[in-house]
Structures are given as C-alpha cells and as structure tokens.
C-alpha cells in the first residue's frame, strides 16, 4: 500500500487552499454573525470547476472520484471555512449521484451542466419530522395526475432550500402496507422547488448560519413525469447510492474542521504566556492536543480507505459509516480541546474555535446518528441480531 499522495491530489489541495485564502477567517466570522448564503464563495468554486468534481466530463464535470472529492471537502473545511464553506457546495458533490447513475441521458444532459456551472442550486429532501432516520415510513406522497405527479407532505432539515432551484426528493407512490417490502413503493424526483406550492421556512439554529436549514410544507407541487428519476417504486434503492459517498465526505469535512481547530489551539498555546512560560510547554496542554492529532490522522485514513473502495466499486458501507463515526468523534474532541486551550478566550467569537465547535455538532448528529452507525456495524460486520 502506497501512502504517498500523488501529484493530482497535491494539486487539488494547493489549488483549493489558494482559492480559500481569498475567503479568510473574518469573512466566515461575518457570515456566522449575519448569515446570508456565501454566494461569492459558491461562485468562485463554480468558476474554478470544483462543483462538478464527480460529475462525468461529458456533462461538464471533471469525472473524478470520491477520493478526490473528499480531499476537496477536507481542504475547504481545514482552511477555516469549516462547515459554512463545505456545506455551501456539499450537495453538488454527492447529491446528484442517483441522477448520474440512474437518470436518463436526457435528464443528465438537462440537470447536470447547470449545477456544474453554478447556474442552479439543488437541495436534498428525504428527512421528515415524524420519520427521522426511519426512511421507509416517510409520509410525503406523490399522486399520479395527467402528465406527471402532484406531491404532498413535509420535509425537515433541508439544507440550502432558501436558495435552491430544485430538490431531489424521495416520496411514497405506493402505501407501505401494500408493498411486499418496506423499502419498495418509494419514488425519486428531481423536482422544481416551486414556492407557490412549497412553503420553505428557515430553522433558527445553533451554527452554520449562512447555510440555511429548513422545514418544507409541500401542497400539490406539480412534477412532470420526465423529472422522475428511474422507475416508479425504486427510489429508496436509488438514494442508497448517494449515502455512502455522503458519509465519506462528512468524515473528510470533520477531519478538516478538527485540524482547523487543532491548528488554532497549537498557535495559541505557543503564544500565550502564563507564569512566565508559554502554556504549550505544559503537558496538560500538550497531551490532549497531541492525542487529537493522532485521532484525526486515523480518521483521515479511514475516510481514504472508504473512498478507495467506493471508487473501485467495492462494498464500502461499514467503511463509510466507520469513517463518519470516528471522524466526527475525533473532530468533536479536537474542537472541544481547542476551546479549552484558549481558556476564557475560547468562548469569544473573535478566536473562531467556538464556531468550529458549534459547527462540529452537525457532523456528530447528521446525516446519521452515531448510535445507528454502531447498530449497523454490529449487525453487518459482527453478525449480531438487528436491534431496530
């Protein structure tokens, strides 16, 4: 096994670091205080071609793998942009994977190039207020009408819906009690997010203020049949192809954010003098930070292995879930330790580490809880009885 980064990966890191340097810590501090989608950052990423990193070249993308995408996302987070920057383009990287894999040629030619060019933005609509992670029991329904469908229901924690033009949305077309398996009877659409039929309400939340999270109330949203992805009733199967890449990207973002916090903590520990010595000379400061470095290195390796398997078409579910679990835990500890290293100043916004800690909470919770990951590994890897 060769651990030496290749030239392409180094070039990605160098180019993304240079771009992110134009959006410094003050930029993201202002976005955290006042909100407002980072349109200029999104535009810069589009102009540099990064929004289509995983989109096939024939549709305007770069045709690279999840490995390269994870390096991109980790570098953005590590630059100090954190989740505010990463989440601004996150959906572009993994979200349209079901369209790439199961969409018709006409759909791919129609949907993918505008996303790559930054002319359109998309959001991902699966989670619901009552179903949560129990996706098979979602209640949003699509009813057949002449020429297509009408959608009714509610979705929650939908990122970027304030600025999105379309939504990749999972619905029920057949009631669960009429299906031979709970995973059947769900249908996937890439629908226009028509505000005449969708009430989009932003959720006031703990962190990542500039990338909105929303609750959607959908009342008769018309969707043309040509906007249905794949076959009716197989939507759950299709979205699974986007879930492992998302977990890998989340893991990489957690590593990047943890390293951003760790770097600020180490810098502060070298500079802060108490009792005539830098606090970084004290082992009580050194050891927790060194431990976080070790944990983040291990998390990065887990994420890279999962991405390597995904890009080669190998089963990677346990790997992707393990990477997400460990990276979120390691990143959270790094952010907590960074705040503690700063002492009282760690609570001050101007030192940035409290923002990193608030943003890291997202990765601890979403898109899948640590408890469900452990249950998945217990069942799929250890062969234990299913617990849910």
Give the mean pLDDT of 128-157.
95
Give the mean pLDDT of 297-320.
96
Give the mean pLDDT of 294-308.
97
Given 234, 266, 282, the domain boundary residue is 234
| 75 pLDDT above the threshold of 80 | yes
3-state secondary structure of 60: coil
| 262 pLDDT above the threshold of 90 | yes
Question: Which CATH number does the domain housing residue 343 bear?
Answer: 1.20.140.10
Residues 25 and 69 in one domain: yes
Question: Which CATH number does the domain housing residue 167 bear?
Answer: 2.40.110.10
Residues 204 and 297 in one domain: no
Residues 187 and 259 in one domain: no
Given 89, 116, 143, the domain boundary residue is 116
User: What's the pLDDT tens digit per position in 196-237?
Assistant: 999 999 999 999 999 999 999 999 999 999 999 999 999 999
| Angle at alpha carbon of residue 140, lines to 138 and 142, rounded to 5° | 130
- Residues 41, 224: contact at Cβ < 8 Å? no
User: What's the pLDDT tens digit per position in 21-51?
Assistant: 999 999 999 999 999 999 999 999 999 999 9
Q: How far apart are CA 376 and CA 385, in angstroms?
A: 10
**Of 331, 353, 334, 333, the residue nearest 343 (C-alpha):** 353
Share of the chain above pLDDT 70, in %: 100
- Judge whether 385 lies within some domain: no
Q: How far apart are CA 59 and CA 61, in angstroms?
A: 6
Supply the DSSP string of 182-215, one letter for each residue.
TTSSEEEEEEE--TTTEEEEEPP-SS-TTS-EEE
- Judge whether 320 lies within some domain: yes
Give the mean pLDDT of 152-160.
97
Given 234, 253, 277, the domain boundary residue is 234
Residue 93: pLDDT band by 50, 70, 90 thresholds?
confident
Residue of 131 and 202 predicted with greater confidence? 202
Residues 191 and 90 in one domain: no
pLDDT of residue 206: 96
Residues 244 and 304 in one domain: yes
Residue 53: pLDDT band by 50, 70, 90 thresholds?
very high
Residues 245 and 367 in one domain: yes
Mean pLDDT, rounded, of the chain: 96
- Residues 171, 151: contact at Cβ < 8 Å? yes
pLDDT of residue 3: 80
Q: How far apart are CA 214 and CA 201, in angstroms?
A: 5
- Judge whether 387 lies within some domain: no
Residues 250 and 375 in one domain: yes
User: What's the pLDDT tens digit per position in 104-130?
Assistant: 999 999 999 999 999 999 999 999 999
- Judge whether 149 lies within some domain: yes
User: Which DSSP letter does residue 366 get?
Assistant: S
- Judge whether 1 lies within some domain: no
- Judge whether 247 lies within some domain: yes
Residues 142 and 192 in one domain: yes
Q: How far apart are CA 188 and CA 114, in angstroms?
A: 20
- Report the run of H or E that residue 333 belongs to, with start and end: helix 317-341
- Owning domain of residue 15: 7-104+109-116
Residues 19 and 91 in one domain: yes
Task: Say how many domains are in the chain.
Answer: 3
Residues 259 and 375 in one domain: yes
Residues 243 and 374 in one domain: yes
**Of 96, 116, 124, 99, the residue nearest 42 (C-alpha):** 116
Residues 161 and 204 in one domain: yes
- Residue 190: what are its φ and ψ, rounded to 5°? -110, 90
pLDDT of residue 1: 66
Give the mean pLDDT of 231-247.
93
Question: Which CATH number does the domain housing residue 21 bear?
Answer: 1.10.540.10
Q: How far apart are CA 319 and CA 282, in angstroms?
A: 37
- Residues 111, 102: contact at Cβ < 8 Å? no
- Residues 261, 334: contact at Cβ < 8 Å? yes
pLDDT of residue 132: 80
Token pair 């619901």: residue = 128
- Report the run of H or E that residue 108 belongs to, with start and end: helix 105-116
- Judge whether 187 lies within some domain: yes
User: Which DSSP letter does residue 234 get?
Assistant: B
- Judge whether 331 lies within some domain: yes
User: What's the pLDDT tens digit per position in 64-73?
Assistant: 999 999 999 9
- Report the run of H or E that residue 229 belongs to, with start and end: strand 228-229
Q: How far apart are CA 331 and CA 344, in angstroms?
A: 21
Q: How far apart are CA 182 and CA 336, in angstroms?
A: 40
- Residues 68, 343: contact at Cβ < 8 Å? no
Residue 241: pLDDT band by 50, 70, 90 thresholds?
confident
Q: How far apart are CA 354 and CA 374, in angstroms?
A: 28
Q: How far apart are CA 381 and CA 312, in angstroms?
A: 20
Share of the chain above pLDDT 90, in %: 94
Burial of 99 per CB tally in 10 Å (0-12, 13-18, 19+): buried
User: What's the pLDDT tens digit per position in 345-357?
Assistant: 999 999 999 999 9
């Amino acid at each position: 096994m060769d651990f030496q980064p290749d030239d392409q990966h180094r070039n990605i890191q160098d180019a993304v670091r240079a771009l992110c340097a134009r959006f410094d810590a003050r930029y993201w501090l202002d976005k955290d205080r006042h909100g407002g989608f980072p349109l200029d950052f999104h535009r810069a990423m589009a102009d540099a071609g990064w929004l289509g990193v995983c989109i096939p070249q024939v549709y305007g993308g770069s045709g690279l793998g999840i490995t390269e995408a994870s390096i991109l996302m980790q570098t953005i987070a590590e630059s100090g942009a954190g989740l505010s920057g990463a989440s601004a383009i996150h959906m572009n990287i993994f979200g349209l994977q079901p369209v790439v894999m199961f969409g018709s040629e006409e759909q791919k030619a129609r949907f993918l190039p505008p996303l790559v060019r930054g002319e359109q933005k998309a959001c991902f609509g699966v989670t619901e207020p009552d179903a949560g992670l129990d996706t098979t029991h979602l209640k949003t329904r699509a009813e057949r009408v002449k020429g297509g469908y009408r959608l009714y229901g509610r979705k929650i924690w939908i990122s970027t819906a304030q600025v999105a033009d379309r939504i990749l949305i999972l619905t029920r077309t057949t009631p669960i009690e009429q299906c031979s398996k709970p995973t059947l009877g769900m249908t996937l659409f890439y629908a226009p997010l028509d505000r005449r039929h969708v009430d989009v309400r932003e959720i006031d939340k703990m962190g990542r203020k500039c990338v909105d999270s929303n609750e959607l109330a959908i009342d008769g949203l018309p969707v043309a049949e040509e906007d249905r992805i794949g076959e009716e009733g197989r939507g759950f199967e299709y979205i699974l192809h986007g879930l492992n890449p998302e977990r890998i990207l989340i893991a990489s973002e957690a590593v990047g954010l943890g390293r951003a916090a760790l770097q600020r903590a180490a810098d502060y520990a070298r500079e802060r003098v108490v009792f005539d010595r830098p606090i970084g000379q004290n082992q009580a400061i050194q050891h927790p930070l060194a431990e976080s470095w070790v944990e983040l290195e291990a998390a990065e390796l887990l994420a890279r292995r999962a991405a390597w398997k995904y890009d080669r078409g190998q089963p990677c579910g346990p790997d992707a879930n393990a990477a997400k679990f460990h990276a979120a835990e390691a990143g959270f500890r790094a952010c907590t330790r960074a705040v503690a290293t700063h002492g009282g100043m760690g609570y001050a916004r101007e030192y940035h580490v409290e923002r990193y800690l608030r943003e890291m909470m997202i990765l601890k919770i979403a898109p899948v809880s640590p408890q469900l990951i452990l249950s998945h590994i217990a069942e799929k890897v250890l062969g234990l009885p299913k617990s849910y």
